[in-house]
Amino acid sequence: MTRPINIAVLGATGSIGRQTLDVIDRNPARFKLFGLTGGVGSSDRKAEHDIHGRAGEGDFDARVEAMVTDPRCDLVVVAIPGARALGPTMSALRAGKEVALATKEVLVMAGALVMKAAGERGIRPIDSEHSAIWQCLWGEELKNVRRLVITSSGGPFWAHPELDLDQVTVEQALNHPRWSMGRKVTVDSATLMNKGLELIEAHHLYGIPLDRISVCIHPQSVVHSLVEFVDGSFKAQLGRPDMRLPIAVALAYPDRLPDAVPPTSIHELSGLEFQELDEDRFPSVRLARDAAATGGGHPAVLNAANEEAVYAFLAGDLPFGAIIPTVERALEAFPGCGGSLPEILEADRWARAEVKAKFGSVRRA
C-alpha cells in the first residue's frame, strides 16, 4: 500500500459520521481524516479542514466546497442529513472524487443527475441494504439480474397489527427493534417510508427498473438484502446489524478490512424469516415507486413532504398515522416539473411550504 487515503467526512457528529471516524481511527495505515464538518464543538480530532456550523451560515457552503474539491482529498463521505447534502455531493463528483454516500435524499431527489456526474466509477453506498446489493453484484453483469429484494425489519409496528397507528407515540415510533439510528430515519423505519426511499436509491445506484425491485419483511435484520439472477439463483449478504460494516466496505473497496465488526456466530444466522410487505397497511413503498416512475420533481416532493411530516410528528403536531397521507396529498397537489437541478430544488421548497401550510388543520390543541 502507498499512502493512506485522504477522507473528508460531511456530518461527522451524526450516527454514521461518528462510526466513520471510528473506522478511520482504527485503520491509520489505510485512512487519514482530511476534513470534517459537524456541529459546533463536535470533535477534538485534527484534520486539515475542520468546519463547524450549519449549512447557510456565512461561508459554510463555500468552505465545504473547497474541502471536497481539494486536490489532496481522495474520498468524500456524505452523511449530512437532508437536501443540503446534494450540493457538496455534486461538487465532489464533478471534481472526480470517490463518494461514499449515506444520505438517501441525494439519490432520491436527483438520482439521475448524481449518477451521471459519478459516471463509470459510480457511488459507494453506505446504506446497509445498498451495500448488501453492491456486494452481491461484485463480479456480476447487470443483464443477469432478475430482481433486487430490499429487506426491512418491519420497524416497531409491523408485528403489531392491533395497534391504531393514529394513537402511537413518538417514544413508540423511536423504539426500533434492530438498528440504532437517528430520529428521522427511525420514524421512516416505522412508516416504512425508509424502504420507499431505499427503493428509489437502489433504482438509481444499479440502473434496475423500479418494477424489478421489491421489499420484503425480514424481522431478524441478518440478511441485509438479496439479488435474484436470471437463472433463479439468489445471492444475499448476511451479518449482525452494525453500520460499521457498510462503512468499512465503502471506505476500503475493493479490499476488505480485517475485523471491521465483531464476528457473527453461526447461531445468530439461524431462524431467518421472510414475509411479503402489506402495502395496504404500509402504502409508502408503493407511493415511492409511483413518484419515481413519474420522475421530474415528484421524488423530491415525496422526500420533502415526508421529512416535514416526520418533523411535525416528532414535534407533536401530527399523528403518526397522518404522516404518509400527508405525503400522498402533497404528491397529488404537485403540478409536476422537469428534472433539472433548479427544478428539483424548487419542487423540494414547494413541498415543504405545502406541508407546513397544512399543519394548522392537524395541530393538536
Residues engaged in binding Mg ion (CB under 5 A): 127-129
Distance CA 154, CA 159 (A): 7
Q: How far is the CB of 270 from Mg ion (least distance, A)?
A: 23
> What cell numbers appear for 271 in the block?
431462524
Q: How far is the CB of 153 from Mg ion (least distance, A)?
A: 10
Q: How far is the CB of 52 from Mg ion (least distance, A)?
A: 28
Nearer to Mg ion by C-beta: 33 or 126? 126
Q: How far is the CB of 131 from Mg ion (least distance, A)?
A: 9
Q: Distances from the Cα of 93 to the Cαs of 90, 117, 131, in angstroms?
A: 5, 6, 19
The set of residues, in sequence order, having a beta carbon less than 8 Å from that of 30 and lying 6+ positions away, is: 1, 4, 5, 251, 252, 257
- Say whether the peptide bond before residue 342 is cis (omega within 30 degrees of 0): no
Which residue number is nearest to Mg ion in terms of Cβ?
127
CB contact at 8 A, 80 and 51: no
Nearer to Mg ion by C-beta: 78 or 330? 78
Pick from 148, 300, 169, 158: nearest CA to 227: 148
Nearer to Mg ion by C-beta: 199 or 347? 199
Nearer to Mg ion by C-beta: 54 or 274? 274
Question: Quick one: three-class SS letters along 13-44?
Answer: CCHHHHHHHHHHHCCCCCEEEEEEEECCCCCC
Distance CA 249, CA 121 (A): 15
Q: How far is the CB of 307 from Mg ion (least distance, A)?
A: 16
Q: How far is the CB of 32 from Mg ion (least distance, A)?
A: 28
Q: How far is the CB of 16 from Mg ion (least distance, A)?
A: 11
Per DSSP bridges, beta strands 213-217 and 145-152 are: parallel
User: Residue 198: what residue type?
Assistant: E
- Residue ranges in 12-121 assigned as alpha helix (H): 15-25, 60-69, 86-94, 104-118
CA distance from start to end of the chain: 63
Nearer to Mg ion by C-beta: 127 or 328? 127
Q: How far is the CB of 130 from Mg ion (least distance, A)?
A: 7
- Residue ranges in 144-297 assigned as alpha helix (H): 170-173, 183-191, 193-206, 244-252, 284-294
Nearer to Mg ion by C-beta: 73 or 245? 245
Nearer to Mg ion by C-beta: 43 or 103? 103
Nearer to Mg ion by C-beta: 74 or 307? 307
